[in-house]
Structure 1
């Protein structure tokens, strides 16, 4: 269960920090786009990349056991870097989702555009595939970690699309994003500490 909850916490932290995808989802939801299709497209892309990342990293760890310390230190450094960025944003008060106005499209167009934004965003591969994958492979149960990260994705995107009018007011607040960023920094540092315990 530790792997499962670690997956949820880290998955949510990384998803919330990816601004471009969240702005797109929120603006489309506010424009009256097909919210079910929108959420499904985001969840599909996230789940696919999470499973791919964890499976690939786990296979690499099994084939090349000597790479495990490198995966660990790399994951720790990346988590500390992301935590530092979140802490700096919280200090500066520089975050906030200012969703631009958008026109509602046919659900097929919305899904296509959402998939393009998801798969063409380099941060998605760095955070979801590389970081989540390498950390997931180091967990006692990589499968449960991946499952937890997938649950985190489902929770976030269903919430973002279903409650977009309310969330727009919340997520546009600099003060509330300072709280978000502070929590994200704490969670990422906690995950880095957990990773260090694997090699000490």
Structure 2
């Protein structure tokens, strides 16, 4: 296995998934409340694994039959990454990235899992990030798409389980906008580097 490609997939997966959003906020909330943490983390990670696999395998096959799609998706992916990086930089500049965690009542297992799956599968951004964006980037590693996909899937498992089970130690951090500003800048930098790689073809 190509470990360079694996770690590229790992870094790209982490840079996409770590941004504050409804799904991550929900996982963090469940971790802070210590409710159904294993089921929630597993549902999120397995969902990402399915979508990443679909993106890597399907886009590669489509490009073989429709080669003109590769440059279109490559430049489109780069444009999205640059736009995403700009949003992160804007969020860091305005300082609006603090995360609020609800302290409501306890929820049953079925309701919790259903809400978790809804936040994952009904979010259009998850398809853009996993199927389209990661699938497109994987085409830059011919013969090593499996390593890239494995890296991205590993990133999902590492992140969700670290967030869910490490949430109790993150309580002082999530209330500090300054910490999220630094994180937003790092994410923007990674996005910019990946966009450059897509545009330069390296």
- Structure 1 residue aligned with 2:121, among 116, 119, 122? 119
Tell me which moved more, 37-46 or 10-19: 10-19
Provide the rounded CA distance (Å) in 2 between the counterparts of 1:130 and 1:103.
37
Provide the rounded CA distance (Å) in 2 between the counterparts of 1:135 and 1:18.
22
- Structure 1 unaligned spans of 5+: none
Displacement of 1:107 after TM fit? Answer: 2.9
Q: How does 1:139-150 map to 2 (within 5 A)?
A: 139-140=141-142, 141-150=144-153
Provide the rounded CA distance (Å) in 1 between the counterparts of 2:103 and 2:138.
37
Aligned equivalent of 1:26 = 28
Instruction: Determine whether 1:158 maps to 2:165.
Output: no
Tell me which moved more, 137-146 or 84-93: 137-146
How many residues are paired up? Answer: 199
Q: How does 1:161-180 map to 2 (within 5 A)?
A: 161-180=164-183
- Structure 1 segments of 4+ aligned residues over 4 angstroms from their partners: none
Superposition CA RMSD, Å? 1.5
Instruction: Determine whether 1:83 maps to 2:80.
Output: no
Shift of the 102–147 alpha-carbon distance from structure 1 to 2, 3 Å rule, reads: farther
Provide the rounded CA distance (Å) in 1 between the counterparts of 2:75 and 2:109.
43
Deviations, residues 19-51 of structure 1 (Å, cap 9, x unaligned): 110111111222221211111111111111111
Q: How does 1:41-52 map to 2 (within 5 A)?
A: 41-52=43-54
| TM-score of the superposed pair, with normalisation by structure 2 | 0.92
Displacement of 1:138 after TM fit? Answer: 2.5
Displacement of 1:76 after TM fit? Answer: 0.9
Provide the rounded CA distance (Å) in 2 between the counterparts of 1:132 and 1:101.
35
| TM-score of the superposed pair, with normalisation by structure 1 | 0.93
